[in-house]
Structure 1
């Protein structure tokens, strides 16, 4: 199964790589995505052809010729164990650094039945460091096939809802408040994920917002065009907070000058917010009666 890898610019200026044909170079690069997290795979030109050249007219014999050239250049090592052929990309651990790698199910070259074949030239630095998680269940591309994968690309907002630590009360109140508003707006009540909690926590701790300011932003969204033009979530609220602040502090005819800036202090309990809403409604009725 294919994996995400990266490549260093030095690959294109390597004298060893320059001695290969373009097809051999591409086969070599394709091996990185075909090999497992320890750089190993089954040594079968038919499998490699299917993985690296699936839509081209190249044959397994062509790929076998590529593999022989890569072996002669010391870019790969071919070996057997119990009469089964395997290969490994040389210099893998030095140049492909993978977080939480999956342990290989293939034997290592040192366990081979006979001395491995890897040519006589020194290994070259042709790989790039990889900082992404590469286990199948965390790999974004593989997740599409397995029904898993990352749900948010932001490193600050991991979406796995498996945090065993007790959540802060102020963070839970913000998330619950937004979920209540979304449900009251006629949408299905969303699940409060770890991404929501992280975004709320970042607004309070990193952005310097007070709980009252965030509650006010949530309330303002409920009655604004902004709500209807955005799929609301706690990460989206954090991302658009400054835009909301500017819009909410700009009185409009629709609001009749009664806009409450979202940066102002705001009652944080449900009873207080209900009381404030009733008071505002009474003021609006009094204004209408006076007109």
Structure 2
């Protein structure tokens, strides 16, 4: 293995060039030497290890990939394995919390846990798959039972949270729109409200980064996840308390088995936030916690500069007419 300066081991890098229609850009992923010291990976079978490492280069820049066993078998093993053996191995990886298996509109996907902590993607591309925040159901997912204490137990759940009366027949990869932060005098009230929620989402991600030790860079998926919960009726303080409750030293932060769940997908997911919001409020009341204004805790001036959009001709005309009336 090549050595870095001062004799430190350099993390190996994996490259995979897709062979789909039109090909794909080669993607480079890192494997840290510590992976050999982890008890979870040490107990994997050779076949499970091959699948786990192969998924690093199969995943998109957000750590997500298609989870159908036939697809994983074909790409990772060149069809030398069987669909059944792959399905069983994926279940084993999920049960030790190395991956999360979930469904979106009937299709199966995989998220590699701890992706943002171990993989640095400087210029992430457009997501190839919907993330766990859009999940309708989870499979073999181990989560905390937070009705009493976030460290007490793990419980398996697979819950359908679909709330619409008619099926969504859109393609699972059609919903990845390009969010832009609009905040100027040409914005409508709805746009201004959206922009404010996005700014708050960036502040909450900064707060979570500080408490968890993982740098969340305000990706579109995470911003959309938080703004969706605000639209559901949760307050900013509700989300702050969930962060504080789960990231407490006596909670997940102090439990190595739970630290990997200190992530936006778990804390703010539509199917999971209800598990934490009420216990977090009770925890704050019993602890006598009083929250300072969010702008004091995470100043807006410290956030990445928001993207601006130029006003359209219609917006300009409307603004000028309004100024003429005034």
* TM-score, length basis structure 1: 0.40
Greater Rg over alpha carbons, structure: 1
**Going by fraction, where is strand more abundant, 1 or 2?**
2
